[in-house]
Structures are given as C-alpha cells and as structure tokens.
C-alpha cells in the first residue's frame, strides 16, 4: 500500500499535490483563497485591502550548497516568496524567517582549527545569557519613553495654557482700562502726576489679582493644569478663539 501511495504521489502535478496536502486543513470565513500555487488570500476586515500570505522553504543540498554565502541564501528565500506576491499584484510589507539546523554534526568538528559548530541549542544558551542585559536595556528604553511622553504632555499643555493666559490678561486689562477711564472722567481736577499714579495703582492691582491664577495655570502636572485651564475659562468667561 505504501508503495502504491508513493507511486500515486509521484504522478501528481503541482496543483494536485497541493490539493492533496491541504484538503484536510481547516478554513474559516476570512479565507478568500486558500493555499495554492501562489499566495493565500485573507480578508481581515481592512477597508479596501486583502492580505496575502506566502510560505516557502529552501533546503541545503537542493536549493543551495553548504558553502553558499548567507546573504545569497537569504536573497533566494525571499525572492521565492516575493515573486508569488508580485504575481498576485500585492505589495510586500513584512517577512518572517525561521532557520532549522540539523543536529547530526559530529561534535569533534569543534576540534578543528578555526572551525566552530553552533546549533539551535547553542543559540538558545546565548539568548539566555543575554536576557539580563536585554532586560536592563528594555528598562532604560521604558524610562526614556516615559520621560518623552511626559515632555510631550507638558508641551501640549503649554499650547493650551498660553492662549488662556493671554486671553485672561487681555480681558482684565480691558476691564481695568474701561473703569479707569470712567474714574478719570469723573475726577477732572487731577493733574498728570495724579492720573499716572492712579493708572499705576490699577495696573498693580490687576497684576496682584492675576498672579496666583496664572501661577496655577503653569502647573507642570498635566492633570491639575487641565483642571485650572478649564476653571479659569469658566470663572472669567473666556471664550475659545473659534467661538469668539
């Protein structure tokens, strides 16, 4: 029976072999076109876009020799998949590469000068040794990201603070100027020095009143800063620029 199956497989063409190997694979509703000669086609609900998936393998002794440069092997591995993506008018976005190494090399190879034998187990050991260093670097990266995020929020907050402070000062100054003119109109006997003194006094009063609100608006904590911006606009009836 085994020989008969092998003989049947031998006489299959490429498409019949693919159909035979994939017949029992489960397929869900996202599969538009299943495995075939080129790429599988999947619909993940992206607007006006379908996803192409392609997998292929190259084997030493069949597709490349043992002395082939690594970059040539990689180029060939990618080219086999990219050609199928191109055949379906797709645009390649990412590639996942896996490497399988045989375990049947004689360990005595390591005794040869300038020859080093590494397998998947060795790579795993190196990765484990470097885990601590990678963890420390990841912590540094998280710290940098946190600082930059805080810096961004401070910058974004200042974009909202500055217009609020300007609007607050402008409104208070307009009120001061209007009331000052009323008072000076009623006090016509005042000389230039007295008028200047009254104006300086009203300006000082406004500055004293605004000192604490403006200080609170400049808080570095973005949560309290947002609260004080909203409070200032409500208390002093400051309209947004697009509302005025």
Q: What is the pLDDT of residues 94-143, one digit of tens each?
A: 888 777 767 777 778 778 787 777 777 777 777 777 887 888 888 889 88
Residues 97 and 20 in one domain: yes
| Structure-block tokens of residue 169 | 């000062």
Flag whether 129 is in a domain: no
Flag whether 133 is in a domain: no
Please state, in angstroms and rounded to a whole number, the distance separating the CA atoms of residues 60 and 141: 39
Mean pLDDT, range 215-223, rounded to an integer: 69
Residues 157 and 71 in one domain: no
CA distances from 23 to 14, 140, 182, 233 (A): 14, 50, 93, 68
> What predicted TM-score, i.e. pTM, was given to this entire model?
0.36
Flag whether 132 is in a domain: no
- Count the domains in the chain: 2
Question: In which band, very low, low, confident or very high, does the pLDDT at 187 lie, cut at 50, 70 and 90?
Answer: confident
Flag whether 22 is in a domain: yes
Q: Which of 2-16, 67-81, 185-199 has the lowest mean pLDDT?
A: 2-16
CA distances from 122 to 97, 109, 126, 127, 131 (A): 19, 15, 6, 9, 14
Residues 6 and 96 in one domain: yes
Flag whether 210 is in a domain: yes
Last residue of one domain, picked from the residues 102, 134, 163: 102
Residues 219 and 156 in one domain: yes
- In a 3-state reduction of DSSP, which class is residue 143? helix
> What is the span of the domain harbouring residue 84?
2-102
Last residue of one domain, picked from the residues 47, 77, 102: 102
Flag whether 130 is in a domain: no
Check residues 158 and 46 and name the one with the higher pLDDT: 46
Please state, in angstroms and rounded to a whole number, the distance separating the CA atoms of residues 66 and 24: 35
Flag whether 122 is in a domain: no
Last residue of one domain, picked from the residues 102, 122, 137: 102
Please state, in angstroms and rounded to a whole number, the distance separating the CA atoms of residues 57 and 64: 11
Whether residue 69 is predicted with pLDDT greater than 60 in this model: the reply is yes
Place of tokens 């100027």: 177
Residue 38 contacts residue 88 (beta carbons within 8 Å) = yes
Mean pLDDT, range 201-220, rounded to an integer: 84
Give the CA angle between residues 37, 41, 44 to the nearest 5°.
165
Please state, in angstroms and rounded to a whole number, the distance separating the CA atoms of residues 208 and 98: 70
Per cent of the chain over pLDDT 90 is: 7
Flag whether 111 is in a domain: no
Whether residue 161 is predicted with pLDDT greater than 70 in this model: the reply is yes
CA distances from 209 to 50, 111, 173, 205, 217 (A): 62, 85, 12, 6, 14
């Amino acid at each position: 029976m085994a020989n008969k199956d092998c003989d049947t497989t031998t006489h299959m063409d490429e498409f019949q072999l693919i159909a035979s190997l994939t017949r029992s694979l489960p397929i869900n509703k996202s599969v538009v076109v299943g495995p075939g000669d080129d790429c599988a086609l999947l619909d993940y609900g992206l607007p006006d876009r379908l996803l192409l998936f392609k997998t292929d393998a190259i084997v030493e002794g069949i597709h490349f020799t043992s002395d082939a440069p690594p970059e040539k092997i990689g180029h060939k591995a990618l080219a086999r998949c990219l050609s199928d993506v191109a055949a379906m008018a797709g645009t390649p976005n990412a590639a996942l590469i896996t490497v399988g190494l045989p375990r049947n090399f004689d360990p005595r190879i390591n005794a040869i000068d300038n020859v080093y034998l590494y397998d998947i187990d060795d790579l795993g050991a190196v990765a484990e040794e470097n885990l601590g260093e990678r963890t420390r670097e990841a912590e540094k990266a998280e710290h940098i990201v946190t600082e930059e995020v805080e810096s961004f929020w401070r910058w974004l907050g200042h974009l909202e603070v500055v217009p609020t402070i300007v609007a607050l000062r402008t409104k208070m100054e307009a009120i001061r100027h209007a009331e000052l003119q009323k008072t000076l109109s009623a006090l016509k006997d005042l000389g230039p020095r007295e008028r200047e003194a009254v104006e300086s006094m009203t300006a000082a009063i406004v500055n004293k009143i605004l000192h604490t609100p403006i200080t609170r608006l400049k808080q570095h904590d973005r949560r309290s800063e947002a609260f004080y911006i909203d409070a200032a606009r409500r208390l002093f009836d400051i309209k947004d620029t697009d509302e005025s």
